Structure 1
Amino acid sequence: MSFLTLSQTASAVLAETPKAEYGSFVLTSVLMTLVIIYAMSKLGGELSKRLNLPPVLGELVGGVVVGVSALHLLVFPEAGATAADSLLMTVLQWLGNLDAAAVTHIFQSQSEVVSVLAELGVIVLLFEIGLESDLRELTKVGSQAAVVAIVGVTLPFALGAVGLIALFHVPTIPAIFAGAALTATSIGITSKVLSELGHLKSTEGQIIVGAAVIDDVLGIIVLAVVASLAKTGEVDLLNVVYLIASASGFLLGAILLGKFFNQSFEVITEKLQTRGALLIPAFAFALAMAFLANIIHLEAILGAFAAGLVLDETDKRKELDQQIMPIADILVPIFFVTVGAKADLGVLNPAIAENREGLIIASFLIVVAIIGKIVTGWAVFGKPGVNRLAIGIGMIPRGEVGLVFAGIGSASGVLSKPLEAAIIVMVILTTFLAPPMLQWALKDQATDAVVELSVGD
């Protein structure tokens, strides 16, 4: 039987599949998507490594190649894409002889599955980062991290909002929203680069991670404020107070939890005799903490990070760290590739007239975004010899957090098209510039850090 005959027979059989059985096509599309994601993550990561750049940058670029900016193999409806925009869906429609309604259903379901897997990826990443961090060392730099985070939120916000109003005559509420987008820091991207450089446990690494966690909490509060402004023109003070209290209580509670939870955890794992006796309880604990954070309107990644910090204090931390790595290797690339895939580089094209105003505003936002975070390194006190430039650069990437701000602003109708494009450009460039800049800033220290870690282990 020829390939053409086999294809025609398969298409005829698939065409008779009732709509209730679209689940098999959803699975097929998800499997095809994962193959593409893993191929691009490894290809991009390996090329980036050979160019002496952080592998995570290659994964982001790989996502751009297969995403909305190039091949359209991985696109998402929340970014405005439809099934017709997805080359993958076009191929599936041809293979299955599906109608437009069926393809739309499959596209939406597939996108939801991949997005959930990406969320699980960043949860696993932050759990792993928590395990690799040292709670005692993190506590020592807590005050410095808090100052860095506060400066890193207030300075870009003030410069961005005031600058947009004064220089570009942007209305107050859109300017405030854009300023809020400048406050974000992607802890996932920065922590991944620090981990790859073997610099996560250094003073600089601990300050950056601690500041990024606090920055994330502050970002959620800022987002709640600007979202209230966008909807009603007023700030819901009760909601803001609730967020501050719940965030503080959650993080402090997680730290205190570790003092008595660790012994119970070790007793439980020692009594279990089946496969996964250590990994499954630990992973379940991380997911439970992520759930608790999410349910009180915090980021799930904060819960996962707190779970990692708690379990870092157990005697089984090194063994658990080794066991979580394969899970991270499978899920984390999905997150980084999808971040790259959602980055629409089309907004960078000056040949399109409607992009030009956005690019001018974006130039201003990029300068504020970089300077507003770099100066945070000089807010560190009581730490002579610390690499202040590296700390500031580590706070630069906006990543998925910045895209969330842009998405909410767009959905609320607050942002004009040029201002929305400017925010997206700022997010894209800070996300892609930060990894090589951080590697450069830590170049002389990275080798020493790896040696110290090796000796310590």
Structure 2
Amino acid sequence: MNWTGSIDYHLLEIFPFFSHQLFLATVAADDAPAILNGVLLSLIVIYLASKIGAEVAKYFEQPSVLGELVAGAIVGISALHLVVFPDSGFAGSSSVIIQFLQLITNLDPTTLDRVFAAQSEVISVLAELGVIILLFEIGLESDLRQLKQVGSQAIVVACAGVAVPFALGTGGLMLLFNVPAIPAIFAGAALTATSIGITSKVLAELGRLQSTEGQIIIGAAIIDDILGIIVLAVVASLAKTGSIDVMSVIYLIISATVFLVGSILIAGFFNQSFVTIVDRLKTRGNIVIPAIIFAFIMAFLANAIHLEAILGAFTAGLVLDETDARNELDELIKPIADLFVPIFFVTVGARADLGVLNPAIESNRAGLLIAIFLVLVAIVGKLITGWVVFGQPGINRMAIGVGMVPRGEVGLVFAGIGSASGIIDKPLESAIIIMVIITTLMAPPFLRLAFGKSDEPPTAATEATID
């Protein structure tokens, strides 16, 4: 029996993300060796791109995440076509890695497309695990007590960061570009997103994660993520039926509130239980394995009630941050994050099509003017958030605003859903993608510049996290 092929195939079946279980069930077991080869080659490319990009960024004194995003764009759909995905409109024959596999294994065209789709699915799942682990790590490095202290400011920042860009974007598209109401509302909703993954990584690298500004940004980004889910539910329902499903919106608001408040309330009880479990375990991994299990349980629960898995992972990190094992857990989680997180950042860059910026292509021109407008609204709408913070004299308001700017993978999700549902046309989709690319790439260096103007030094704790 081919145990390797059997195990590889069943590994593919245990990841129920992205609602593709039916597809995975159709993958033939005989394809498993080719799928594994495709995954391994993709990971080789991703890790090489990640490390080279991070080192180049470090050389130019920029955050490593910027190098990983740019490296992803180079190996992705914008240039080398080494890491590409079916949901970006690519077939197996467009992937250089799949072409190489075909060359050495003589795959037939039907098998080639199956292998490409399954390999892409595995990489997507690994990227999803990467951002879950990243947010768990960020939760561990955050301070729940300090996060509670800036909670009111974070709520104000998040609400402003959703309301201002949504209103300016929707109104501007309708008045200036005569975009119909529903596509304009959808594009306005895409402007509300904030990529907590990108911002939090930069804050950690700069040693500012536990600063007051950093905690406000992280708290606001988490709340912004919840509000973004609610906004997406509203516009999706509006696009489908022409009316808003009020009960769905109420359900999301209640479930998000109960999840966050309930997690914070059980923190004290759970911490004692966690320490007891750790003390009784005597084998290797006695701390990190229970912690990862808890993070995955929280991520699963959040995903199951139609929130974001990353919200559950972040909450798990916050809860465990209060335990006596916190410092040791911080160190143990870093190698795991080093293994999975680069996959997330490189694939975000790989999915960004920089070709939409080329005005020489006629189909891009209609979207470029709209894109310029969306980029301006995306930046201004988030920069304003720094100036709504209250009760914090001397705070770096520019840093807070810049920290809320990147849209990253969240914005691409909005663009993908809008395109797949037929809500937005190609020019408007291109404009949204351009906005996502520019805000994502500009945030890391500008966040560094913004904090460079602050007199507040990094804390010893956050300096330790980036050594």
Q: TM-score range by the shorter chain?
A: over 0.9
Tell me the distance in 2 between the aligned counterparts of 1:75 and 1:143: 41
Note if contact 1:65-1:71 (Cα within 8 Å) is conserved in structure 2.
yes
Aligned to 2:263: 254
**1:373 paired residue among 356, 376, 382:** 382
Distance verdict in 2 for CA 1:455–1:167, change over 3 Å: closer
Q: Aligned AA for 1:260? A: F
What SS is found at the alignment partner of 2:458? Answer: helix
Residue deviations 1:225-266 (CA, integer Å, cap 9, x gap): 000011111110000000000001101111111021000100
For the residues of structure 2 that align with 1:446 and 1:290, how far apart are their CA atoms? 37
The change in CA–CA distance for 1:454 and 1:427 in structure 2 (over 3 A counts) is: closer
Which string of whole-angstrom CA distances, capped at 9 and with x for unpartnered residues, describes residues 33-62 of structure 1?
A: 101000000000000001011100000011
Query: Of 119, 122, 125, which aligns to 2:128?
Result: 119
Q: Which residues in structure 2 correspond to 1:225-264 (within 5 Å)?
A: 225-264=234-273
Question: C-alpha distance in 2, partners of 1:358/1:86?
Answer: 27
Q: Does 1:386 align with 2:395?
A: yes
User: Residue 361 in 1 paired to residue 370 in 2?
Assistant: yes
CA distance in 1, matches of 2:419, 2:432: 11
Deviations 1:388-423 (Å, cap 9, x if unpaired)?
000000000000000000001001101011111000
Which one of 106, 117, 120 corresponds to residue 108 of structure 1?
A: 117
Does residue 269 (structure 1) correspond to residue 278 (structure 2)? The answer is yes
SS at match of 1:275: coil
- Does the aligned pair in 1 maintain the 2:139–2:321 contact within 8 Å? yes
**How many residue pairs are counted as aligned between the two chains?**
440
List 4+ stretches of structure 1 deviating above 3 A.
Answer: 444-447, 450-457
Rounded Cα–Cα distance in structure 1 between residues aligned with 2:359 and 2:462 = 47
Correspondence list, 1:113-262, <5 A? 113-262=122-271
SS in 2 for 1:88: helix
Which one of the candidate residues 276, 298, 303 is aligned to 1:289?
Answer: 298
Instruction: Read off the aligned partner of 1:332 and give its amino acid letter.
Output: V
Percent identity between the two aligned chains: 65
**Is contact 2:256–2:307 with CA below 8 Å preserved after alignment?**
yes
Q: What runs of 5+ residues in structure 2 fail to find an aligned partner?
A: 1-26
How many Å apart are 1:455 and its aligned residue?
9.3
Conservation of the 8 A alpha-carbon contact between 1:228 and 1:236: yes
Whether the aligned pair in 2 keeps the contact of 1:197 and 1:450 (CA below 8 Å) is: no
State the secondary structure of the residue aligned to 1:22: helix
Secondary structure (helix, strand or coil) at the match of 2:457 reads: helix
> 2:39, 2:122 within 8 Å by CA — same for their partners in 1?
yes
> Could you say what secondary structure the match of 1:448 adopts?
coil
Give yes or no for the alignment of 1:59 onto 2:68: yes
Cα distance, 1:20 vs structure 2: 3.6
Map 1:423-438 → 2, pairs under 5 A:
423-438=432-447
Match of residue 280, structure 1, among 274, 283, 289: 289
Aligned residue identity for 1:311 = L
Tell me the CA shift for residue 383 of structure 1.
0.4
Counterpart in the other structure of 1:11: none
Q: CA deviation at 1:205?
A: 0.1
Give yes or no for contact 2:259–2:302 (8 Å, CA) kept in 1.
yes
Q: 2:292 and 2:77 mapped to 1: Cα distance?
A: 33
Is the Cα–Cα contact under 8 Å of residues 41 and 58 in structure 1 kept in the other structure? yes
Distance 1:51 1:452 in 2: 25
Query: Is the contact between residue 197 and residue 446 of structure 1 (CA under 8 Å) also seen in structure 2?
Result: no
Task: Tell me the alpha carbon deviations over residues 83-125 of structure 1, each in whole angstroms, 9 at most, x when there is no partner.
Answer: 0110110010010011001110100000000000000000000
Matched with 1:45 is 54
Distance in 2 of aligned mates of 1:113 and 1:264? 34
Shift in Å, 1:452 = 6.8
Mark the CA change 1:76 to 1:237 in structure 2 (over 3 Å): closer, same or farther. Answer: same
Name which one, 1 or 2, has greater alpha-carbon Rg: 1
Q: Is the 1:290–1:301 Cα contact (8 Å) retained in structure 2?
A: yes
Query: Which sections of structure 1, spanning at least 5 residues, go unmatched?
Result: 1-17
Scaled by the length of structure 1, the TM-score of the pair is 0.95
Amino acid across the alignment from 1:113: V
Amino acid in the other structure paired with 1:83? G
Cross-structure match for 2:19: none
The letter of the residue matching 1:218 is L
Cα distance per residue 1:299-322 (max 9 Å; x no partner): 000000000000000011010000
1:424 is matched by which residue type in structure 2?
I
* Letter in structure 1 aligned against 2:195: S
The residue aligned with 1:345 is 354
| Maintained 8 Å contact 2:211/2:459 | no
CA contact (8 A) 2:204 2:462 kept: no
Look up the equivalent residue of 2:118 and give its one-letter code. S
Residue type matched to 1:183 in 2? T
Shift of 1:354: 1.3
Give the 3-state SS of the residue equivalent to 1:414 in structure 2.
coil
Cα pair 1:75 1:81 within 8 Å, conserved: yes
Partner amino acid, structure 1, of 2:398? L
8 Å CA contact 1:198–1:446 kept in 2: the answer is no
